[in-house]
Amino acid sequence: MLAVLVLHVLAAVLAPVLVRWWGRTAFLVLALVPATGFGWVLTRLPVVTGGGAVTETVPWVPALDLAIALRLDALALLFALLVTGVGALVLVYCSRYFEPDDDGAARFAGNLTAFAGSMLGLVLADDLLLLYVFWELTTVFSFLLIGGTGTKLAARRAASQALILTTAGGLAMLVGLIMIGETSGSYLLSEVVAAPGSGPFLVAGTMLVLAGAVTKSAMIPFHFWLPAAMEAPTPVSAYLHAAAMVKAGIYLVARFAPGFAEVPGWRPVVLGLGLATMLVGGYRALRQNDLKLLLAFGTVSQLGFLMVLVGAGTRELAAAGLAMTLAHALFKSTLFLTVGVIDHATGVRDLRLLSGLGRRLPVLAVIGGLAGASMAGLPPLLGFVGKEAAFTALWEGGLPDRTAAVLVLTGLVVGSALTAGYTARFLWGAFARKGGLPSTAPAELVHPPGRLFLAAPAVLALTGLVAGPASSLLEPLVAGYADRMPLLAPEAEKLALWHGIQPALGLSALTLLGGAALFAARRRVFRLQRRLAVGASADEGYWNTMQALDRLAVLVTGTTQRGSLPAYLGTILVVVLALPGSVLLFLAPWPGEWRAWDTPIQALVGAVVVIAALLALRIHQRLSAVLVVGVSGYGIAVLFALQGAPDLALTQFLVETLTLVVFVLVLRKLPKDITERHRPRERAVRGVIAVAVGLVMAAAGAVALGARTAEPVSLAYPDAAYDLGGGQNVVNVTLVDIRAWDTLGEISLLVVAATGIASLVFLRRRTGTVDRLDPVRLARQEKRSRRAPRRQWLAASAALAPERRSVVLEVVTRVLFHSIVVFSLFLLFSGHNQPGGGFAGGLVAGFALVLRYLAGGRYELGEAAPVDPGLLLGMGLLLAGGTGVTGLLLGAEVLETAILETALPVLGDVKLVTSLFFDVGVYLIVVGLVLDILRSLGAELDRQADEHDPIETTPGEVIAR
């Protein structure tokens, strides 16, 4: 079973490609997929009619107890035959329905095949949650198929309407399924139906599941999405909205009925809604002029009929229901396909504009006539057999309550009369010659249908014809399902064409007579319906609800989103104060004892940090503010060192310095002062929030520490670091081994940040070309500036204007550059055992580049690092990630360290830890980040200033503020 589903998935993925290669012929190949499924299901027929079931279970999410549990029993087999059989024929039909050069066909093919697979999965699923997954998949593909290319507003609206309604029902159903699963103690459909349990929880769950079935099968008051969905191409209407998807609700009710029909509320809901839907659908169908809409409302009506039959929960009605389901799928998809052929051939679907088509397309008329006869319930077709069975069942039993049975029977007879009436209207409208129109209208056929185009409806119609007399062959299959329900009639009547003269035959004749009368008096009926028409409809109600929701959303958004970042942040912070803050105030265990400090120096440095940070609040000069924050940061570094964290102190010092450099690079472009934009009152509010947040965070830190009783997880780190990670510096081993996943995520973030910076400055490309020295230009420049020193200390400093050069800086850079780079490598390699590592090493190497840039300008930076920073970032990430993959390939965990120790001739004992490569990746990424910053915020800004680069806008481009 699973193989068949997987085949559908593969076909759906390949379908667009196939259609692009072979055009519409590819549909024929795709039709083989459901056909295979059909064949497979047929081979299982003996097992299932013998009373058995085919099951298959593959674990999926064991933690959730979720398995791909598939089960093919009598009910599933019948629906699976429908889904695969009609699916294959519809795909065959598609191969002629689409024009050879139709753009949407590729997409359509994929969606339709995927839908066929989902629908098959839905009827095979034996797990409640799996059923739900397939259920929603059919909804999604239905949305895509109705919406088509999304260029038509009406199609878009119809698609979203169907999606919203069926998903809403589906979500209710999910809740209901979980409630039922929890009550009955099993999530296996077969077990749940066998022993549903009881209680109010079960009743509520059942109602919710019914909500799903009712929306999906377009019962009143959610019926309106189905006619609207007729915006979809005809094959979709024939398959989804006649044979398959709308039957999902019927299937669900049929599936649950054996165990749940006695649940309080089940029969009133199912029978009431079903009957009302049958009558309303039939009544509406009678006044449609569009052939496709007529069929759509007819489908609504028939779905109501089927819902009554399969939902009653008795043996005789269930058997009639299955026969009728089969009959309906056959005749309704035939009729839709017939309309598709008419539409294709004439370009018209309005029955007021068609005349004399029956003579011109006789084969089509015979096909449509057969299907119509089945729909109206004429012998010897399958529709007649199903309807007879239903009438007989209700005449003698069918429902526990006799009054209800009579009521339902009356409703069904009236509904069937309406059915016969609109069937006659359909056949007359499609094929007959009409007064008031020329004998042939429209005068010319655009596309006369070919043989292959007619093949699918012909096969379906003939099946309906043959299945009538042969309906006794269906009996074992139908009985396999229906025998699980109580029999109320005196004896079980087998499915057959002829049962002799009996009351049901009279009722059938009555419906046909009623239908004929409705058709004969069609003008009067039409006028009456027009007079009775009311302005309100469920569809209007739906759109009004949607609009109200929309307005509510705008209202809420408009009230809460005022567009001010400080206001948003303020709100967030106030919530922090209100929730965690009040918990802290009232519930937190305050520490019993306090220490003044770890060392007195800590207090001293702490005071410096705080004073510097507070100074930043009042300073208006940009650079000074940055500097005092820098001082505060250096103070933090000292605090780190005092706490016993040399790695942190080192990194903090380096980063603080680099931050200052980057600030200066940008601030040189900005005005000196920060403009004050806040009124005193705003400042006061900010102050209150700030102080309160400060108090809460201080208290939170203290309380958290005071409340700690568990042993830290890091107690085992030192031993693990040395034994498993092969390093003495526990912090570094933590970074590159114990918590390497975290680090991998963090360095990825650095790559993103670097890319973001570059793209903000370079805008149209990742980075500019590396600014290299141009000898010609250099010579020209040297000629101009004769006073410049001949002796060069740096490669490209000659390119700088003489007044911007500093010999001292050049000399110092020349002397220090290589030493700094070597030192950074030392930090990288020794980091595993001593303070250092990839982060610190990379920052130091970045410093070397900063020095070169400051001393020699942008050309010097190009000479110092003639590589694309993106290359460094990418290689770093590749190296770090590659280390993880290598570990995996060697059979260990991802990112697990291997220690290689060997004695080499000259070097002596060499110990190589594979996490070193990870650290090299980190190093490269940090260097890449610094280089990217220098290249964008340094060199590129210089270039823009040098070349008086205007803001890069093309004419007509508007910068929105």
Partner 1 sequence: MTPTVVLPVVIGALYAAGVYLLLDRSLTRVLLGFLVLGNATNLLLLSSGGPAGLAPIVGYAEPAEMSDPLPQALILTAIVITFGIASFVLAIIYRSWRLVRQEVVGVDEEDRRVARRSGSDADEIDPDDLAPEDRSAAHADTGVGDEDVVARLERDYAGIPSDDVDLPPTRRRRR
Q: Which of positions 725-744 make contact with partner 1 (CB under 8 A)?
A: 728-731, 734-735, 738-739, 742-743
Q: Are 90 and 235 in contact (CB under 8 A)?
A: yes
Q: Is 694 in the site for partner 1 (CB under 8 A)?
A: yes
Interface with partner 1 (CB under 8 A), residue from 443, 587, 715, 903: 715
Span near partner 1 by CB under 8 A; candidates 28-36, 241-249, 466-474, 558-566: 558-566
Q: Which residues pair with 125 in a beta bridge?
A: 70
Residues 647-666 binding partner 1 (CB under 8 A) are 647-648, 651-652, 655, 658-659, 662-663, 665-666
Q: Is 540 in the site for partner 1 (CB under 8 A)?
A: yes
Q: At what angle do helices 74-97 and 451-467 cross, to 10 degrees?
A: 160
Return d(Cα 804, Cα 800) in angstroms, integer: 6
- Nearest distance from residue 554's CB to partner 1, in Å? 5
Interface with partner 1 (CB under 8 A), residue from 702, 773, 816, 875: 702
Mark 904-938 as b/e (b = at least 16 C-beta within 10 Å). Answer: eeeeeeeeebbbbbbbbbbbbbbbbbbbbbbbbbb
Q: Is 179 in the site for partner 1 (CB under 8 A)?
A: no
Q: Are 124 and 54 in contact (CB under 8 A)?
A: no
Q: Are 170 and 133 in contact (CB under 8 A)?
A: no
Q: How far is CA 236 from CA 156, 370, 401, 648, 711, in A?
A: 15, 22, 40, 64, 63
Return d(Cα 482, Cα 487) in angstroms, integer: 9
Residues 91-120 binding partner 1 (CB under 8 A) are none
Q: Is 834 in the site for partner 1 (CB under 8 A)?
A: yes
Peptide bond into 449 cis (omega under 30): no
Q: Which residues pair with 61 in a beta bridge?
A: 66
Q: Is 581 in the site for partner 1 (CB under 8 A)?
A: no
Nearby residues of 68 by Cβ (< 8 Å), 6 or more positions away: 2, 56, 57, 58, 59, 60, 127, 130
Which of residues 213 and 218 has its CB atom nearest to partner 1 in the complex? 218
Return d(Cα 311, Cα 426) in angstroms, integer: 29
Q: Is 149 in the site for partner 1 (CB under 8 A)?
A: no
Q: Are 36 and 95 in contact (CB under 8 A)?
A: no
What is the residue whose two structure tokens read 């610094």?
930
Interface with partner 1 (CB under 8 A), residue from 61, 194, 704, 885: 704
Return d(Cα 2, Cα 672) in angstroms, integer: 70
- Nearest distance from residue 613's CB to partner 1, in Å? 4
Interface with partner 1 (CB under 8 A), residue from 71, 247, 287, 328: 287
Interface with partner 1 (CB under 8 A), residue from 5, 124, 180, 228: 228
- Nearest distance from residue 541's CB to partner 1, in Å? 11
Question: Which of 334, 320, 340, 444 shows the shortest CA–CA distance to 391?
Answer: 320
Q: Is 717 in the site for partner 1 (CB under 8 A)?
A: yes
| Amino acid of residue 943 | R
Span near partner 1 by CB under 8 A; candidates 40-48, 50-58, 91-99, 282-290: 282-290
Interface with partner 1 (CB under 8 A), residue from 446, 521, 760, 888: 760
Q: Is 767 in the site for partner 1 (CB under 8 A)?
A: no
Interface with partner 1 (CB under 8 A), residue from 889, 904, 958, 959: 959
Interface with partner 1 (CB under 8 A), residue from 52, 469, 706, 881: 706
Which of residues 65 and 742 has its CB atom nearest to partner 1 in the complex? 742
Residues 408-427 binding partner 1 (CB under 8 A) are none
Return d(Cα 372, Cα 433) in angstroms, integer: 18
In terms of Cβ atoms closer than 10 Å to its own Cβ (0-12, 13-18, 19+), residue 689 is: middle
- Nearest distance from residue 787's CB to partner 1, in Å? 34
Span near partner 1 by CB under 8 A; candidates 710-718, 782-790, 800-808, 860-868: 710-718
Q: Are 9 and 117 in contact (CB under 8 A)?
A: yes
Q: Is 551 in the site for partner 1 (CB under 8 A)?
A: yes
Specify the DSSP element, H or E, that contains 55. Answer: strand 54-61
Kindly determine how many residues on this chain lie close enough to bind partner 1 according to the rule CB under 8 A: 154
Which of residues 170 and 633 has its CB atom nearest to partner 1 in the complex? 633
DSSP string, 359-387: HHSHHHHHHHHHHHHHHHT-TTSHHHHHH
Q: Cα-flanking dihedrals φ and ψ of residue 558, to 5°?
A: -65, -35
- Nearest distance from residue 330's CB to partner 1, in Å? 24
Nearby residues of 10 by Cβ (< 8 Å), 6 or more positions away: none
Which of residues 271 and 895 has its CB atom nearest to partner 1 in the complex? 895
Residue 141: CB atoms within 10 Å:
24
3-state secondary structure of 318: helix
Q: Which residues pair with 725 in a beta bridge?
A: none
Q: What torsion, rounded to 10 degrees, do the Cα atoms 639, 640, 643, 646 define?
A: -140
Span near partner 1 by CB under 8 A; candidates 89-97, 266-274, 512-520, 555-563: 555-563
- Nearest distance from residue 211's CB to partner 1, in Å? 23
Interface with partner 1 (CB under 8 A), residue from 2, 363, 575, 690: 690
Span near partner 1 by CB under 8 A; candidates 43-51, 227-235, 375-383, 819-827: 227-235
Q: At what angle do helices 538-560 and 153-184 cross, to 10 degrees?
A: 90
Q: Are 398 and 488 in contact (CB under 8 A)?
A: yes
Residues 586-615 binding partner 1 (CB under 8 A) are 591, 593-599, 602-603, 606, 609-610, 613-614
Question: Which of 754, 734, 750 shows the shortest CA–CA distance to 648?
Answer: 734
Q: Is 456 in the site for partner 1 (CB under 8 A)?
A: no
- Nearest distance from residue 302's CB to partner 1, in Å? 17
Q: Is 697 in the site for partner 1 (CB under 8 A)?
A: yes
Nearby residues of 208 by Cβ (< 8 Å), 6 or more positions away: 172, 173, 175, 176, 179
Return d(Cα 926, Cα 938) in angstroms, integer: 17
- Nearest distance from residue 230's CB to partner 1, in Å? 6
- Nearest distance from residue 4's CB to partner 1, in Å? 35
3-state secondary structure of 653: helix
Interface with partner 1 (CB under 8 A), residue from 100, 101, 151, 153: 153
Interface with partner 1 (CB under 8 A), residue from 40, 447, 622, 829: 622
Q: Is 822 in the site for partner 1 (CB under 8 A)?
A: no
Which of residues 595 and 790 has its CB atom nearest to partner 1 in the complex? 595
Interface with partner 1 (CB under 8 A), residue from 293, 322, 485, 879: 293
Q: Is 631 in the site for partner 1 (CB under 8 A)?
A: no
Which of residues 142 and 184 has its CB atom nearest to partner 1 in the complex? 142
Mark 393-408 as b/e (b = at least 16 C-beta within 10 Å). Answer: bbbbbbbeeeebbebb
Interface with partner 1 (CB under 8 A), residue from 17, 583, 749, 779: 749
Which of residues 452 and 572 has its CB atom nearest to partner 1 in the complex? 572
- Nearest distance from residue 759's CB to partner 1, in Å? 9
Q: Is 714 in the site for partner 1 (CB under 8 A)?
A: yes
Span near partner 1 by CB under 8 A; candidates 93-101, 415-423, 639-647, 884-892: 639-647
Which of residues 198 and 561 has its CB atom nearest to partner 1 in the complex? 561
- Nearest distance from residue 529's CB to partner 1, in Å? 9
Residues 836-855 binding partner 1 (CB under 8 A) are 839, 843
Residues 474-533 binding partner 1 (CB under 8 A) are 530, 533
Span near partner 1 by CB under 8 A; candidates 30-38, 166-174, 263-271, 831-839: 831-839
Q: Are 651 and 839 in contact (CB under 8 A)?
A: yes
